[in-house]
Amino acid sequence: MKRLFSLIAALLLAFPPLVLADVAGGLRDCAQIENDSDRLVCYDALARRPDLSTAPDESAAAYPREPESEVSYLTKRWDLDESGVRGRYTLIPHRDNYLMPLTYNGGQDQPAKGADYTIKDVDDHEVKYQISLKTKLWQDVLGQRMDLWFAYTQQSYWQLYNIDESAPFRETNYEPELLLSFHPRLKLFGIDVRTLNLGFNHQSNGRPEPLSRSWNRLVANLGLEKGAFTVELKSWYRVPESRDEDDNRDIDDYLGPGEIQSYYRWHDHRFGLMLRNNFQRGDNRSTFQVDWSFPVMEKVGLYVQYFNGYGENLLDYNQHANRIGIGFILSDWN
């Protein structure tokens, strides 16, 4: 067997010199032809020989290289690509970052109008925007496939067009989170199980009574992907508070125990759907949000959002909202 390998190696090493020697011999033969026309025909024939050094690689044609697959949504959002890990203390998007200069919410009554409400005449048209970032605090916790993250989301509603009320900010929600993200690397029924996130979530609006709203939750989220589809199954358990300190004791009746967030990508377009239900037979309440975005310039896309249901923000958690808005969204950055 060793002799066979040696013979093959010798032939491979000798092949280029043999080709060159053959070409040189052909040139000498053509030069010895006395008739000009015959000599030219000889040179033309020699020039038409295939150049083995530049011949196409038949194996490459038979087995074309597969195009590199696009990095998935959850891989970007949770830094799962081990070949390009960002490391700790790098700010990346958590949820969507968007600005909608124009939204319209029709037919909603504010929960505390009049003397208790800071804005006596609320305009149905307002600006809505969201800022949502996170950073990794601890990578590969205890040497395992899990990371510790801190995330912060802020969502605001600005009565920019309400000149009579001096264009105030109507509501702002502050939402810090501490999340331990596991990377299961499982495949179930053809579906990739990308992430399992466990953590603590606080959300409040920083307002004095009677407009104060806040709650604390233990959260468990599962991230799934298949092709262009992404689904996040989010569940939570509200941490009990004393009756005297609870600003919104019935919030579970409106927001329920969790939500489903899904995305579908088609070419450069992204379609989103969020679903919630309180799972109460007697007084059932459902909420959904649909959105659509596509790029209009580098890292910026046009964004359209429609929300229908309860809990769009903490101040209005028990009021039915029917809002549509248009604006711009920041794409994921590296």
**247 contacts 212 by C-beta, under 8 angstroms:** yes
Low-confidence residues of the chain, pLDDT below 70? Answer: 1-28, 31, 36-37, 39, 41, 43-44, 46-69, 107-118, 333-334
Q: What's residue 181's pLDDT?
A: 98
160 lies in the same domain as 12:
no
Cα 262 to Cα 74: distance, rounded to the nearest angstrom: 11
204 classed as catalytic:
yes
* DSSP notation for 75-128: HHHTT--GGG---TT--EESS-EEEEEEEEE-SPPPTT-GGGSS-SS--SEEEE
Alpha helix positions (H), the chain: 2-31, 36-47, 58-62, 73-77, 252-255
**Is 79 inside any structural domain?**
yes
Which CATH number does the domain housing residue 111 bear? 2.40.230.10
- What pLDDT does 87 receive? 82
Hey, is 16 helix, strand or coil? helix
In a domain, 68, yes or no: no
| pLDDT recorded at residue 89 | 93
Amino acid type, 70: E
- Predicted local confidence at residue 165, as pLDDT: 92
Please tell me the total count of domains within the chain. 2
> Which of the following is catalytic: 53, 59, 183, 202?
202
Residue 325 in any domain: the answer is yes
Same domain, 150 and 246: yes
Distance CA 171, CA 122 (A): 12
Same domain, residue pair 137 and 278: yes
Q: Is residue 209 part of a domain?
A: yes
Whether 37 and 135 share a structural domain: no
- pLDDT for 121: 86
- Domain span at residue 221? 73-330
- The answer to whether residues 119 and 165 touch, using CB atoms and an 8 Å cutoff, is yes
- Is 6 a domain residue? yes
Both 88 and 177 in one domain: the answer is yes
Indicate the DSSP class of residue 19.
H
pLDDT of residue 32: 72
pLDDT at 68: 42
Q: Are residues 44 and 142 in the same domain?
A: no
Residue 176 lies in a domain: yes
Tokens 């949502």 — which residue? 132
Active site residue 269: no
Model pLDDT, residue 71: 83
Which is catalytic among the residues 6, 94, 204, 320?
Answer: 204
Residue 67 lies in a domain: no
